[in-house]
A and B are shown apart, each in its own frame.
Chain A
């Protein structure tokens, strides 16, 4: 058999008849394939150490010094450090998930993805998995360095719940990223403005540097809509047991349920949006035409 030939199928009809199992395996392999460049990039391009660890660390440090100067309870330093670590995930979601499909279109990848036989959701999952690996490493470094440097002491009673909330927060965050990716693609060039629009306000209402309950009604609204806000609040409650929290936030268990609902809603919405997007894009020619 020639090097060029690899298909055992005797006809195109036979080659096109895939079992559900084969389709599923292809989707799973596509997740792996799409995650690959992100994970490889982690080791190949070291500039992230400066841009995504050192700079966020400096921002976190500024709040640490402010709280110390104000003689705030010591747990607040821990709140800030935890918030600083979670910043990596939000940045990754907004810059490397939400606006990613727009970039893929500019590079000409999008039409190749759509023309391939895997589900496009597999591409989004692959982006999310790769992004998770990237962001986790960054978050861990920020957390470890800041904890050691500023002497943060954690008080955890429910490790399993803390880990579950952390996992659910990431799932909900990347579910949101998958949904935004589809929406951003539909909005085209406006994606950059939207990215800018989303970054700082979400920092603020998520309470990255202070307990979100301090925001009152706005904080409650954030807890119901922004996974970063609800996840961070739950993790703070679980990681600093006994700390004095402003009243008004739900228990970590309730917040975990909110995260589960958010994850389901965002992932389903991403799937629905993608289907609508693909249909519309095929009708209007927006899918494959680079400049539209």
Chain B
């Protein structure tokens, strides 16, 4: 992606963050270098404890680096935090912010005041955003009665109140059901399309989400960035061959008959999930040196009297990329995790110790 003139939206150099967790130290970030261009939708993809949240906390000025530097549009996170806070906003998954006693409209208005909107502008902007995120029916509903999905849409509206130049989304769909997560993704995409020049940094451990939304992705593990690129570039790292899945009406001689053809690396019977007994077909996984070798295979099959019923090219997923880079699956642990307190990870259900009744009492 060409870099527009002016400072990068995010520029990180040799960033290191160490938490002192007695009796030891936890290295949450270990020499991170990162450049994100203005207008980019950038994703940080990694498992829990990878250091994503720590990086986002540093970039949002809530945490100081132990070493190295980080800049947002040229402003240093350690020294220029006031300027950065004027142009950024953040939304986290499972966020329980605000006060349950307020209505959605009131809660958003309260936050609008923290960004300096006048009373009238605040109400107007809040109403516009409530409509934009599709919460018109919940406008006057108390925050304490919102569902998790509704709450997250409200949080997203809060994150857009100040028309941020950079929006940090930390696991924004955490704990949401499929429909609610899709709505949140659609809203973010709509905002990004409507306001050119804005930058988004998304952290997620949902690979499909990163794949769908991000222009570029950094894969993070153990506080290090293992790879950066567009989703396609990352996938190409692991796709050294072309992989096809083929369904044939018959295959005399079995898959080994195909394996002998030029350009074919391997051919093996595919695992099937069973089908009607009267429809006897053969499924073959075919690994080719390149796509061009497929022509020879199709020709050979014709000569063997086989008919191709279905043909599908298998694309590697970001999970394949992760496995290739890290040597383990996304959900597989490889050792003791740093304490949740040190990494800032939330509970899986995104809840906090206080419920909404308590929220109301301590408003």
Contacts and interface: CB of A to CB of B under 8 A. Distances in A.
A282 B63 contact: yes
A18 B115 CA distance: 12
Interface in B33-75: 38, 57, 60-64, 73-75
A4 B115 CA distance: 15
Interface stretch (A28-36, A154-162, A248-256): A28-36
B359 A16 contact: no
B110 A36 contact: yes
A33 B62 contact: no
Interface string B204-237: 0000000000000000000000000000000000
A117 B116 contact: yes
Contacts of B88: 115
Contacts of A6: 125, 162-163
Interface centre among B87, B89, B118 (most CB of A within 10 A): B87
B330 interface: no
Contact of B106 (A36, A111, A287): A36
A100 to B, nearest CB: 6
Interface centre among A3, A7, A112, A113 (most CB of B within 10 A): A112
Given A7-B163, A103-B362, A285-B342, A15 B114 contact: no
B131 to A, nearest CB: 7
A64 B343 CA distance: 56
Interface string A53-83: 0000000000000000000000000000000
B6 A11 contact: yes
A282 B63 CA distance: 4
Interface of A: 2-7, 11-13, 15-18, 22, 25-26, 29-30, 32-34, 36-38, 40-41, 44-45, 96, 100, 103-104, 106-109, 111-118, 282-285, 287-292
Q: What 8 A-B pairs have minimum CB-CB distances, sorted nearest first?
A: A33-B113, A26-B116, A2-B194, A16-B83, A37-B363, A12-B165, A12-B73, A7-B163
B117 A29 contact: yes
B20 interface: yes
Interface centre among A13, A114, A115 (most CB of B within 10 A): A115
Given A30-B113, A30-B114, A44-B101, A96 B342 contact: no
B344 interface: yes
Nearest to A31: B113
B117 A288 contact: no
Interface centre among A37, A40, A45 (most CB of B within 10 A): A37
Contact of B96 (A7, A26, A33, A108): A108
B64 A106 contact: no
Given A29-B118, A30-B114, A115 B90 contact: yes
A45 B99 CA distance: 13
Given A5-B194, A108-B96, A40 B101 contact: yes
23 contacts: A3-B131, A5-B195, A6-B162, A13-B6, A26-B115, A29-B114, A29-B122, A30-B116, A33-B114, A36-B106, A40-B102, A41-B99, A45-B101, A106-B354, A107-B96, A108-B96, A108-B352, A115-B62, A116-B114, A116-B115, A282-B64, A284-B20, A288-B63
Contacts, number: 173
B86 interface: yes
B99 to A, nearest CB: 4
A15 B354 contact: no
Interface string B104-139: 001001111111111100100100110110000000
Contacts of B20: 284
B360 interface: yes
Contacts of B90: 112, 115
Contacts of A32: 113, 119
Given A40-B106, A114-B62, 5 more contacts: A26-B114, A37-B99, A107-B359, A113-B114, A285-B57
A118 B95 contact: no
Interface in B326-360: 340-342, 344, 346, 352-354, 358-360
B116 A118 contact: yes
Contacts of A114: 61-62
Nearest to B58: A282
Contacts of B113: 29-30, 32-34, 36
A4 to B, nearest CB: 5
A116 B85 contact: yes
B88 to A, nearest CB: 8
A196 B61 CA distance: 34
Contacts of B132: 3-4
Given A2-B195, A15-B165, A37-B363, A289 B344 contact: yes
Given A2-B195, A4-B132, A117-B82, A37 B102 contact: yes
Contacts of A2: 194-195
Contact of A33 (B57, B61, B92, B109): B109
Nearest to B101: A41
Given A12-B166, A106-B353, A33 B19 contact: no
A108 B351 CA distance: 10
Given A3-B128, A12-B166, A107 B97 contact: yes
B174 interface: no
A130 to B, nearest CB: 8
A96 B162 CA distance: 28
B244 interface: no
Contact of B116 (A29, A45, A111): A29
B362 A100 contact: yes
Contacts of B258: none
A290 B114 contact: no
